[in-house]
Amino acid sequence: MSDMLQDILFVNSSDEIALNREAIPFSSLCHRLQTDLLDGLALHSNVTFDYLELDDKVFLDYRLVHRIVMNLFTNALKFSESGSPIQVAFGLENGRFLLRVTDQGIGILPEEQARIFDLFFRGSNIETRRGLGLGLNIVQRIVNAFGGTVTVHSDGLNQGSEFTVLLPATPPAA
């Protein structure tokens, strides 16, 4: 309920998202995100994390990156059966921070994938799963504020989903 309230407040706030970029060692960022995601997660134990131990610094707003990762991870949990595999991958690609969340859940119909980031949109196959259709719209808004990209791929019903985010991670221009 608290997460839903935060999402509603976020959507109702100004369209402008202020970025507070700071230099963060890549490995520290990944460890911190992994710890935050797994904190209190006992019911779904088939989660794997994939990233290299790198000392490279990334210039990101941790609070907003955390929000992206948390929304995508929460969706993977919500739309997957308990115990089904979920993979979270972090990487660096040509000066960009890469995040990929892959699940084996209920999937997304091909004809609905183009609308999945629309405000209040909920797939036709979500059945009784809770939500308001805010999370992916928030992800897209944050990604856009960074000047990044977010994409989704699913082969259809019960074929799982893969969300990929690329965020510029180089020092901001002075």
Residue at 42 is within a domain: yes
Question: Structural domain tally of the chain?
Answer: 1
Q: Tokens 């719209």 — which residue?
A: 137
Beta bridge partners of 159: none
Question: What pLDDT sits at residue 153?
Answer: 96
Structure tokens at 135: 């999370």
Q: Which of 97, 8, 105, 102 is nearest to 54 (CA)?
A: 97
CA 114 to chain centroid, in Å, comes to 17
pLDDT band at 38 (very low <50, low <70, confident <90, very high): confident
Residue at 108 is within a domain: yes
Supply the CATH number for residue 153's domain: 3.30.565.10
User: Residue 103 is part of which domain span?
Assistant: 2-168
Task: Note the pLDDT tens digit of each residue in 124-144.
Answer: 556 665 655 688 999 999 999
Residue at 31 is within a domain: yes
Residue at 174 is within a domain: no
Task: Note the pLDDT tens digit of each residue in 139-158.
Answer: 999 999 999 999 999 998 88
- Identify the three-state secondary structure at position 142: helix
Residue at 56 is within a domain: yes
60 touches 24 (CB < 8 A): yes
